[in-house]
Structure 1
Amino acid sequence: MQLLMRYVPLVAPVLLWAVPCWVLLYTGQGWPLPVTLIGTALFVLGLAGMPLAMVRGHGRRQQDGAAIVGDTLLGAVWVLFTWSVLLGTLLRLALVAADVGDGQDRARIVTWAVLGTTAVLLAWGYAEARRVPRVRRLEVELPRLGSGLDNTRVVLITDTHYGPLDRASWSARVCETVNSLDADLVCHTGDIADGTAERRQAQAAPLGTVQATRGRVYVTGNHEYYSEAQGWVDLMNELGWEPLRNRHLLLERGGDTLVVAGVDDVTAESSGLPGHRAHLDGALEGADPDLPVLLLAHQPTFVDRAAAHGVDLQLSGHTHGGQIWPFHYLVRLDQPAVAGLSRHGDRTQLYTSRGTGFWGPPFRVLAPSEITLLVLCSPGRPAGA
């Protein structure tokens, strides 16, 4: 298995480019020789250029232009690969069953269908990635929540991933949407950006305009630990957000109290940064064990530890809902949930956001972004009240 995993980074890009090349050009289409040669050359150029652009864009050079090219090629070839396999196989079988044309006709129909589907999905996916996310509203009943905290409004944003594509204006519009939701508490569960705080500060600056009646809280994601995490913690603090680094605060109203806790991302300890690690015992130290707990943890996989500690609700991001279908099947191999509300153990609920921004490829296909409004309800509240 270790040997297999070692060669995956080498084999995967070849398959991503070779399979569509074969399906579109070499499965009986009978294209004129110049078409076949030019098409093959484009696939070879993509195969060579994508990893080179990714290395120059995301490696030590951090060239934003190269990152945009590499990320876009990655997203485009993933969609092309997916639909070359799925549509290429199913449509060919359907055409044979319907006795449509001869072999060459069917092969060419498949080629144009795959190319057309890919073009439509990429255009739609780009628009989905760049728009301000829709607000997803959800009521969550917490059995231990006191009636004084009934109807507490918690807004969750996560995985903004400010990066090579300048999204300062998008960031401002996201914050305007958040401010329209009349939140008691606004949470950011990490992966603010790809790049250091100094480099992406202009895109993150609108976060300083976010308003909440009770507080704004933030925890680190794994991408902060690729980009000088402490700089992001310091910047969020300067912008008026409370970094919950293995600590908690109390939200009080109407004589009742909610513990709002946060932990560093699970990758923090391996980063080597002093004092950075996911430490739930530290986050809950001194908290009354009879009080309900709202926990911020970037990755859903942390929910096992949350459930063992009796946490009532964990808020997470990280998965992006898969971002580009059908990648969510691979995400599910690593995380206990991909999106939405799920239950873990007797008490603990987990809400996994599909994310507010996007990572890398500027596309979202069948995995829409979201700004989440969670209304916390005490037991016995009438439905819809």
Structure 2
Amino acid sequence: MLAFIFFFTILFIFALANVYIYKRLITRISFFKYLYNFFKYFFILLYISQAFFFLLRKEDFLTDKVYEILALSFAPSYCFFFITLFLDFIKFICIFSGKNYSIPYRFLRIIFEIFILVLGGFLTYISINNALKIPNVKKEQIYIDNLKQDLKIAMLTDIHLGKNLHKDFLEKLIIKTNALNPDLIVIVGDLVDTNVEHLKDYIGILNEFKSKFGTFYVLGNHEYYHNVNEVLQLLNENTNMHILLNKNIDLGVINIAGIGDLMGLRQGVYGPDLDKVQKDLSKNKPSILLSHQPKTVLLYNVNDFDLILSGHTHAGQIFPFGVIVKLNQGFLHGLYHLNEKTKLYVSSGAGFWGPSLRVFAPSEIVLLELKGKR
């Protein structure tokens, strides 16, 4: 029911946005005078594509190419909406202050209108590219009590392998991560976002991740949406990753632990069990906990851990949705100090969910440089 309300709200917002752009921008561009009907049907088609995406995105009959095209349809509406809103705001300020906001010369007006269209196209491209590109590396230095040697952890979250991001994206992500020469690699949930049948041909390339201690993985909420048992079977049979499902591993210099996602509580399978993790946790060395949703730290006592690594938020992914994410999760992105000992890092993620769109929320590969306090 909540999902239905969410999708209906999004589609209603985009319907209003498309009408607003047409009425307040397109019909006021002078050299579009004889193209108004064309743009009317263009925005109708654009909205149909947006509606089809949300209504049919889970259906297998959508090919990857069709899915990718539909996912691109949101960016023009988003970018041109904010441009139109900004122009209307400037007009309001001019009217309120008694100044004339119209451009007196037709030539200058046409130049300005062309600039607005080019700007909208450029912002549309940038917002799409921010979602689809291989993430940049973000380095974060963290000091940990009692850490006997420095460690480099490559952190990936929210890769969302599926109809939009698949083999080519994963291969490039692996190459860029390996180039960091990490001591260990962690994948903190939402690796899988499609039926496992679509991943069988290439999921094994996860074994190409290279690090001293190996690759460690925990479930995210999206794995539960695609039959969590089949996801676990796929990864167990085709990869050598260490799957931390309510367990911990002593690596000598640190403990690395992971818990099931909070979605498991809703579905009644593989929910988080922190007591089980802590039962045999070696307390004489630093401990790291992998937990997909950061709000886990607000629901459970995590004081036994020095560092918690989470994702899920996408740093909001699309402005201004970060406000809603922050309200829901309690955290958005970056490093948080929970107490004198325990720290939390929330990654914006390497991939994206839904529309091919990232605005003011860049994706990232995180290189955590852990150092002992001196």
| TM class by smaller structure | 0.7 to 0.9
Amino acid at match of 1:260: I
Question: Larger deviation: 239-248 or 196-205?
Answer: 196-205
Match of 1:71 in 2: 71
Match of 2:147 in 1: 146
Equivalent pair of 1:154/1:183 in contact (CA under 8 Å): yes
Match of 2:213 in 1: 214
Equivalent pair of 2:138/2:364 in contact (CA under 8 Å): yes
Amino acid at match of 1:179: N
TM value normalised by structure 2: 0.86
Query: Structure 2 vs 1, CA of residues 178 and 114 (structure 1 numbering), >3 Å: closer, same or farther?
Result: same
Equivalent pair of 1:88/1:114 in contact (CA under 8 Å): no
Query: Structure 2 vs 1, CA of residues 190 and 111 (structure 1 numbering), >3 Å: closer, same or farther?
Result: farther
Residue pairs, 1:217-228, within 5 angstroms: 217-228=216-227
Unpaired segments ≥5 residues, structure 2: none
User: Counterparts of 2:355 and 2:367 in 1: how far apart (Å)?
Assistant: 26
Match of 1:176 in 2: 175
Deviations 1:107-150 (A, max 9, x none): 9777655432221122223333333222212211112x332xx2
Deviations 1:290-330 (A, max 9, x none): 54321111112212135554422111111222233343233
User: Counterparts of 1:214 and 1:252 in 2: how far apart (Å)?
Assistant: 10
Deviation at 1:99, TM superposition (A): 4.9
User: Counterparts of 1:87 and 1:203 in 2: how far apart (Å)?
Assistant: 47
Match of 2:251 in 1: 251
User: Counterparts of 1:202 and 1:283 in 2: how far apart (Å)?
Assistant: 33
Match of 1:116 in 2: 118
Amino acid at match of 2:52: L
Equivalent pair of 1:185/1:213 in contact (CA under 8 Å): yes
Equivalent pair of 2:103/2:109 in contact (CA under 8 Å): no
Deviation at 1:16, TM superposition (A): 3.0
3-state secondary structure, aligned to 2:328: coil
Match of 1:319 in 2: 313
Unpaired segments ≥5 residues, structure 1: 381-385
User: Counterparts of 2:142 and 2:82 in 1: how far apart (Å)?
Assistant: 36
Query: Structure 2 vs 1, CA of residues 72 and 99 (structure 1 numbering), >3 Å: closer, same or farther?
Result: closer
Match of 2:90 in 1: 90
Q: Does 1:12 align with 2:6?
A: no
Amino acid at match of 1:43: F
Deviation at 1:252, TM superposition (A): 0.6
3-state secondary structure, aligned to 2:185: strand
Equivalent pair of 2:188/2:309 in contact (CA under 8 Å): yes
Deviations 1:211-260 (A, max 9, x none): 1211311011111111122222223333100111111111213xxxx221
Match of 2:22 in 1: 21
Give the total of aligned pairs: 368
Question: Larger deviation: 63-72 or 349-358?
Answer: 63-72
Equivalent pair of 2:153/2:186 in contact (CA under 8 Å): yes
Match of 2:257 in 1: 261
Equivalent pair of 2:144/2:371 in contact (CA under 8 Å): yes
Query: Structure 2 vs 1, CA of residues 278 and 111 (structure 1 numbering), >3 Å: closer, same or farther?
Result: farther
Amino acid at match of 1:259: N
Match of 1:286 in 2: 280
Query: Structure 2 vs 1, CA of residues 168 and 120 (structure 1 numbering), >3 Å: closer, same or farther?
Result: same
User: Counterparts of 1:362 and 1:32 in 2: how far apart (Å)?
Assistant: 28
Query: Structure 2 vs 1, CA of residues 132 and 58 (structure 1 numbering), >3 Å: closer, same or farther?
Result: same
Amino acid at match of 1:49: S
Amino acid at match of 1:305: L
Residue pairs, 1:32-51, within 5 angstroms: 34-51=34-51
Query: Structure 2 vs 1, CA of residues 11 and 132 (structure 1 numbering), >3 Å: closer, same or farther?
Result: closer
Amino acid at match of 1:178: T
